Amino acid sequence: MKILVVDDEADVQPLFLQRFRKEIRNQEVEFDFALSGEDALKYLEDKHSEVVLILSDINMPGMSGIELLGHIREDFGDPPPPPVVMMVTAYGDEENYKQAMEKGANDFLTKPLDFDLLKQKLKNLTD
């Protein structure tokens, strides 16, 4: 399962790689990263069919996660099945949640990420 993680904090990358060390080694998951919404869209141009799950931060300079979500739902909605999008934010408030859900997010997670919960959610996805 290919997962795209979108976050402007570069250190998120080693964190995911280590947290999912075993899963990666067992080839259960595969990670790719983008540092901005714009990067993510560029990446998706080529690989949207491969990506199963997108985990995106909301608060990023430039294109926000919510905007990215809008583009994903508009541009990459056709089958093969559209990617699952989970929004991540440090500001876990009503407004963000409402907007994310309106724009078609599948889930909403708050920072700091609970990786055990995330793994559980991934398991539910694959089952």
Partner 1 sequence: MYFFVYLGAFLLLIRLRTSVKFTELFEKWNTLLRWSSFGVIIAFFVFEKLLPDSIIPFIGPLILGGIVYFALNEADFKPVRSFVNTHIPLVIVGFIDAIVDLIAPKFYGEHDDIFQIAVLLGFIWIFARWASTKKQQQEMRIMSVKKDELEALVSERTAELTKQRNELQDLVKELKTTQTQLIQSEKMASLGELTAGIAHEIQNPLNFVNNFSEVSAELIDEMEEELEKGDKEEALAIAADIKQNLEKIRHHGKRADGIVKGMLQHSRQSNNIKEATDINKLADEYLRLAYHGLRAKDKSFNAELITRFSENLPTVDVVPQDVGRVLLNLFTNAFYATQQKQKQGDPKYRPVVEVATISKQGMIEVFVRDNGTGIPEHIKDKIMQPFFTTKPTGEGTGLGLSLSYDIIVKGHNGKIDVQTKEGEYTEFMISIPLTVKNN
**DSSP of 46-94, one letter per residue?**
HHTTTEEEEEEES--SSS-HHHHHHHHHHHS-SSS-PPEEEEEESS--H
Q: Which is nearer to partner 1, 49 or 99 (CB)?
A: 99
* Residue 27 structure tokens: 């080839």
Smallest gap from Cβ 14 to partner 1, in A, equals: 7
User: Of these, 99, 101, 106, 119, which contacts partner 1 (CB under 8 A)?
Assistant: 99
Q: Footprint of partner 1 on this chain (CB under 8 A)?
A: 9, 11, 14-15, 18-19, 21-22, 59-64, 66-67, 90-91, 93, 95-96, 99, 111-113, 115
